[in-house]
Amino acid sequence: MKEIKNNSFQNMEEQQVYLSRVLEYIKTNKKTQPKACVETYGCQQNVSDSEHIKGMLVSMGYALCDDTDEADFVLFNTCAVREHAEARVYGNLGALKHNKRRNPDMIIAICGCMVQQAAVCERIKKSYPYVDIVFGTHARHRLPEFVYKTIFDKKRVFEISEQESEVIEDIPIHRDGDLKGWLPIMHGCNNFCTYCIVPYVRGREHSREPSEIIKEVKEMVAEGFREITLLGQNVNSYGKGEAHGVNFAKLLRMINDIEGDFKIRFMTSHPKDCTEELLDTMAECEKVCHNLHLPMQSGSDRILKLMNRHYDTEKYYHLIEYARKKMPDISLSSDIIVGFPGETYEDFCETLRMLKKVRFTSLFTFIYSKRDGTPAAIMDDPVSREEKGKWFKELLLVQEKISKENYKDVIGKTFRVLCEGEGREDGFMAGRTDSNMVIEFKGDNTLYGKYLDVKVTELTNVLKGTII
Ligand code: SF4
């Protein structure tokens, strides 16, 4: 059993002191309220982290804005999963040089998975001298301290220690939405898939206490949130090794028992830890959406082994069949990596075969991106990028056909949707089904946030329907 540590109160108490000092400084020294712009790259976990970063900035006296040109404080919350995202961050960081020249008091910060890599941190130290604060994934809650030190000590701050912090609660939060919200239930990952940098930059898995999660869900429901997505790199292993003995299926039941008209989603699941107990729970809990994102990554058992995924296609397909038996209306989505080192065209064809067999509603597809420091980065990779590009296009065509056929099947059916906002055409609103499909229908903003029954009438470039 892991030892239960709860230093989060002391941690945040210390940060609260820094936060108050910065707030006092801003109130006394700034004629107008300074603006902060937070740009987020990567996954929903980062989006959620940025909501806490914004919460801390607002508590320190900043107003939020979306434009780096207007901002007195710019922060990039970065991702390390793919190479091109990193290149984009360097480009955007380069552009800030002119902003800093115009506004020398401006503070520039960069944080997240990308800077947790020592080589990246070194590059920023040397080549981007106008960046004031650099901090890694384990130090996010210490932003008030870093801002304080930048203002008062006038020194650059670099904090990318690999020492993992325990789960920190009570960090201020400024949520981006008012209808749909993110709720991390755990941090880190223990799986070490050979292509993935996440376990190296986000550290080992730590689950939040069930009581803290329940408290946060209740607060969100009271604030009017209608859809809560539970987040984790592998939510299926929630609670493993923790003293509280609550696994993910039990946690779902506890959240489902909370009163209120709201829906629960979760991501991401790992097929090796996805159980029949979890699928039964999804089927039995009326608030849990029948929507499962189950990353398959490859349809070749040989490649799955090289990826260190700990399941094979037989186990994967069994989960799909079981989920469909228990929830005939379930929608399934997945992630696929094309061109993993050593993958042959035959391996790739096995992935295509699995796609045709499973018939996912939607698919997130990526060409393998080499991440230094991972085992896959030193594997033989003889297939050219150009060839991988051809396979990738072939896969997209196969999935496009499947998706179109799946969509045609829903014409004439009625779905309960949550009205999320305006549609693409004037006079239309858009709603999302439990299964994550978007349907557009005639209506206006008075429908926002309501659950409605909508009958699908046609498929143009979007699904259209009418309110029943
Ligand atoms: S489960 Fe695998 S792919 Fe997902 S974050 Fe962990 S190591 Fe990366």
State the closest ligand 1 atom to the C-alpha of 202, by its place in the atom list counted from 1.
5
Instruction: State in Å: Cα 405 to ligand 1 middle.
Output: 31
Distance CA 113, CA 78 (A): 6
List the alpha helices (DSSP H) in 309-454.
313-326, 345-358, 385-408
Beta carbon of 186 within 6 Å of any ligand 1 atom: no
Which structural domains are found in the chain, ordered by start? 8-159 (3.40.50.12160), 180-407 (3.80.30.20), 414-467 (2.40.50.140)
pLDDT class of 1 with cuts at 50, 70, 90: very low
Distance CA 308, CA 66 (A): 40
Contact 368, 339 (CB under 8 A): yes
pLDDT value at residue 165? 62
- Write out the DSSP string of 225-257: --EEEEE-TTGGGTTTT-TT---HHHHHHHHHT
Tokens of 338: 């094309």
Picking from 363, 364, 460, 452, the residue whose alpha carbon sits closest to that of residue 407 is 460
Contact 398, 356 (CB under 8 A): yes
Beta carbon of 296 within 6 Å of any ligand 1 atom: no
For the cut 90, the answer to whether the pLDDT of residue 358 exceeds it is: yes
Beta carbon of 198 within 6 Å of any ligand 1 atom: yes
Instruction: State in Å: Cα 233 to ligand 1 middle.
Output: 6
pLDDT value at residue 16? 93
Mean pLDDT of 295-319: 98
Q: Whose CA is nearest to atom 8 of ligand 1?
A: 196
pLDDT value at residue 54? 97
pLDDT value at residue 187? 92
Single pTM value for the model: 0.92
Using one digit for the tens of pLDDT, what is the confidence trace for 152-183? 999 999 998 777 667 888 899 999 999 999 99
Q: Whose CA is nearest to atom 4 of ligand 1?
A: 233
pLDDT value at residue 161? 78
Distance CA 92, CA 148 (A): 25
pLDDT value at residue 460? 85
Beta carbon of 233 within 6 Å of any ligand 1 atom: yes
State the closest ligand 1 atom to the C-alpha of 199, by its place in the atom list counted from 1.
7
pLDDT value at residue 4? 35
For the cut 70, the answer to whether the pLDDT of residue 41 exceeds it is: yes
Q: Which of 204, 233, 293 to mutate to test the pocket of ligand 1 (most atoms within 8 A of CB)?
A: 233
Distance CA 370, CA 355 (A): 24
Least confident piece of the model among 126-135, 273-282, 400-409 = 400-409
Q: What is the separation of C-alpha 466 from the centre of its chain, rounded to a whole number of angstroms?
A: 32
Instruction: State in Å: Cα 192 to ligand 1 middle.
Output: 6
For the cut 60, the answer to whether the pLDDT of residue 418 exceeds it is: yes
Could you tell me what percent of the chain has a pLDDT over 90? Answer: 86
Distance CA 160, CA 122 (A): 11
Instruction: State in Å: Cα 315 to ligand 1 middle.
Output: 18
State the closest ligand 1 atom to the C-alpha of 190, by its place in the atom list counted from 1.
6
Using one digit for the tens of pLDDT, what is the confidence trace for 328-348? 999 999 999 999 999 999 999
How many other CB atoms sit within 10 Å of the CB of residue 261? Answer: 10
State the number of CA atoms in the 13 A half-sphere of 288 facing the CB: 26
Instruction: State in Å: Cα 340 to ligand 1 middle.
Output: 15
Beta carbon of 270 within 6 Å of any ligand 1 atom: yes
Mean pLDDT taken over the chain? 93
Contact 429, 444 (CB under 8 A): yes
Using one digit for the tens of pLDDT, what is the confidence trace for 425-451? 999 999 999 988 999 999 999 999 999
Indicate if the alpha-carbon torsion angle 348, 403, 357, 417 is positive or negative.
positive
